[in-house]
Structure 1
Amino acid sequence: MTEETPVLALRSLSVDYGIGRHRRRVVHGIDLEIRRGETVGLLGESGAGKSTLGRAVVGLTPVADGQILVEGEDVTRPSRRDRRRLARTVQMVFQDPYSSLNPAVPIGRLLAEPLLAAGVPGREARSRCVDLLRRVGLPAGTEQQYPGSFSGGQRQRIAIARALVCGPGLVVCDEPVSALDVSVQAQVLNLLRDLQEEYDIGYLFIGHDIDVVRFMSDRIAVLEGGELVEVGDTEQVVRQPGHACTRNLLAAAPSTDPEIRAERRRRRAEARAGR
């Protein structure tokens, strides 16, 4: 892989849902790139195909057409062996941290499993897990406890540690803070940014909260009906949206930014004056 090679490249990617006569296309011809150290925020209404696209990237949903390239390697239809290797390069953090963690398995074992499967010696795997748990802000002894012992914010920190334990180049974050209290959201978002800088990770950040996506993203991509309708630098998309879908999403979303609120009021007034 050269320095210019994206950690993720989607080429005309399409995904279908259902089988037989009930099969329908839910993601249509997506072209998108993400580089190490970059966050691309994925916005769209409910049902636009955001999570479906994210699951396709990590190999949880089959691809109907097009390509997925990870660090220049085609992983569109991976074999079982390729899937294990892909899991070390691309990981996902889900919306619900509890459902993504097996409640019957201690935290240390949950984190160590992929390392042991990759041939890392047991002592080194345990040491790496303990260090990573400390890095995400969890206390000593966390590795000996079970997921049910922790709050939602702590469980999401555990899920983030598990996603990073094999050193991936890309993490798909599927609304990773939407199930958390507002005060905890800020802590987890700052943690994700710090880890990105430290480990040079690319993020595909799926979200519905404009302020959260804006805070996290270098670029924003907007999906409508499974199609990519706008991609651009974050501030450009937020302040000067080029597509009606983006404008509607921004107009409908509450914002804590006074400049954005003022801009939305101005646009609504112009729209009324033009009727």
Structure 2
Amino acid sequence: MVPEHPTNGAKSLGHEGRRVVLLITTPVGESFQSIAQITGYQAPPASPIDFTSYENSALPDLASRLRFTTHYALCVIHRELWESTSVSLLQKFRGARFWDHPGDFTMMSPSRSSRSNSSMIPASLNACQPWSDGDIYNIDSGEVIGQTDISDEEITRALREDWTYMPIFWNCHDLAIRLAYIIVRPSTRVIRVLKRLMRSLRRACNTEIKWVRTAGSVCIGGWGVGVLGGIASVPPLAMAGLSVFMVGWSVGFFGGIAVNVKENTRYKFMIKLEEKFPQLKSLHNGA
């Protein structure tokens, strides 16, 4: 039987943690799939996961199926449930709660996760949610990051608010990784694991997205026109991200400039987060 979620207050991060924190991946949504098609990237076929298994090892780790063109979410499960050898993976994930960014519409791109019905869905709707069996069966990898005693409410407040979304440069990967780091018990292992993941995702981005080729395809397809059409209504904070996005998808001549502007804007976003969450400096340093 799946244990109920406790209602008592959360302990500090220094405690061992009664709940397990995982990062999990699922296929991306239709709009991001169109980007993948433009770039010509084809994800290698993955063998199905046996969700009837009672062994957690049946869930492939993140590195074994790592790619940039995928959706990341944070998953929290009671430790007793996760460590049980008499409960299937499906039952364990049925008892979990998930946090993820749905790729809401921010005038960067109508991008959405595979679980979003519309790019207009507010990001807050994907906080502390149970997943349907269909969503669970879409999980293609996952990994335990650490443990926590932070309450669902505190997790939701931690990083879900006012997140400026950019589908390539500042997306669901960035949110899920940083949210995991904020809520788990701190350790050098956690920093090492998450830094390695961040670096691997950036390398995968460069491998999967051929910027020069993609720029021409997008411009010819008229994709840039749709983005330009919404500039007048973009909020000030999002304008910085929009400028990066537009440069990033411009002609190949501007490729070097795009990378520099992209990195500078990403850096500013990280600094802004550090003002609210000083502990992120350890994660960002050298990442």
Q: TM-score range, shorter-chain basis?
A: under 0.3
Higher helix share: 2
Larger fraction in strand: 1
